């Protein structure tokens, strides 16, 4: 990724942003075979914990998933000076 930094600017930090993903095996849910998937109201995910909220108020919990990051290619690179002012950056 090409980044242009203005003449006279001195970078001190490079920050790379990567895409990451996590997955949960739904078949591990207790009562999986009895779940009517059309009755799902919402799916919430926070801190790699998943919750499936049903229309009847039932909540199914799935434990932590291992988060995997694609570390080969960042999706963004930013360059900062000592005061954390952005000097340049780019997005793939």
Q: Give me the domain span that covers residue 60.
A: 13-91
In a domain, 1, yes or no: no
Which pLDDT tens digit goes with each residue over 34-90? 999 999 999 999 988 999 999 999 999 998 888 888 888 899 999 999 999 999 888
Which one, of 32, 34, 24, lies nearest residue 63 by Cα?
24
Q: Hey, what are 82's tokens?
A: 């000592």
Contact status, residue 43 vs residue 55, Cβ threshold 8 Å: no
> Within a domain: residue 5?
no
**Whole-angstrom Cα distance, residue 45 to residue 28?**
16
Query: Is the model's pTM score more than 0.85?
Result: no
Q: Is residue 6 part of a domain?
A: no
pLDDT tens digits for range 5-46: 777 888 999 999 999 988 999 998 888 999 999 999 999 999
Q: How many structural domains is the chain composed of? A: 1
């Amino acid at each position: 990724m090409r980044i242009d930094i203005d003449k006279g600017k001195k970078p001190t930090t490079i920050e790379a942003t990567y895409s990451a993903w996590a997955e949960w095996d739904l078949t591990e849910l207790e009562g999986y075979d009895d779940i009517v998937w059309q009755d799902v109201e919402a799916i919430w995910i926070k801190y790699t914990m998943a919750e499936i909220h049903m229309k009847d108020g039932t909540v199914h919990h799935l434990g932590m998933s291992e988060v995997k990051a694609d570390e080969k290619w960042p999706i963004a690179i930013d360059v900062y000076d000592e005061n954390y002012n952005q000097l340049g950056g780019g997005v793939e």
